[in-house]
Amino acid sequence: MNKEELIKKAQEARKLSYSPYSNFKVGAALLTKSGEVYLGANIENSSYPLCMCAERNAIYNAMLHKVKREDIVMLALSADTPEPCSPCGACRQVISELLKEGTPIIMSNLKGDIKETTPEELLPFAFSGDDLQ
Ligand code: THU
């Protein structure tokens, strides 16, 4: 599966968003080595801090299906933004821990704009488990 196809999956996932408070729908799709795709969408709550982003839901969805960090080959996200939608700070922290360095993160919007990045580019100088030693 190529990045355009994974973006389509993220846009399908976006339709599953539960976002009655922000009305801002985000979708994400994670691709594994074996070609499986795990979806995520943002899920909000009337207690606002409990809202969960699409990217983290996709990553956690994959983990709960026993996908290993080394088997994640790409993550795409998409939203109706003027520029390709960029992961929030909390998602960057989770991405930096659960995806390998160099894993392509494909940011996109509904107009077809695409920007590609990596975990280390999204969060340089990340805090990590090593800091806890
Ligand atoms: N959101 C995401 O799902 N991913 C992002 O990268 C940015 C923000 C969600 C959280 C909240 O439900 C809504 O978008 C508005 O912030």
CATH no. for residue 31? 3.40.140.10
Query: Which atom belonging to ligand 1 lies closest to the Cα atom of 22?
Result: 15
Tokens read off for 8 = 């389509």
- Predicted confidence at residue 17, as pLDDT, reads 98
- Predicted confidence at residue 7, as pLDDT, reads 98
Closest residue (by CA) to atom 14 of ligand 1?
24
Question: How many CB atoms lie under 10 A from the CB of residue 94?
Answer: 18
Half-sphere exposure of 95 (CA within 13 A, CB side): 32
- Predicted confidence at residue 51, as pLDDT, reads 97
Query: Which atom belonging to ligand 1 lies closest to the Cα atom of 43?
Result: 12
Q: Confirm or reject: Cβ of 103 under 6 Å from ligand 1.
A: no
Counting the structural domains of the chain, the total is: 1
CA–centroid distance, residue 133 to ligand 1 (Å)? 32
Between strands 26-32 and 72-79, the pairing is: antiparallel
State the residue range of the domain holding 108.
3-128
Is residue 133 domain-resident? no
Residues with active-site annotation = 55
- Predicted confidence at residue 73, as pLDDT, reads 98
Question: How many CB atoms lie under 10 A from the CB of residue 82?
Answer: 8
Is residue 8 domain-resident? yes
> pTM for the complete prediction?
0.96
Q: Confirm or reject: Cβ of 59 under 6 Å from ligand 1.
A: no
Is residue 54 domain-resident? yes
Residues of the chain with pLDDT under 50: none
Q: Confirm or reject: Cβ of 90 under 6 Å from ligand 1.
A: no
Is residue 73 domain-resident? yes
Q: Confirm or reject: Cβ of 96 under 6 Å from ligand 1.
A: no
- Predicted confidence at residue 48, as pLDDT, reads 97
- Predicted confidence at residue 87, as pLDDT, reads 98
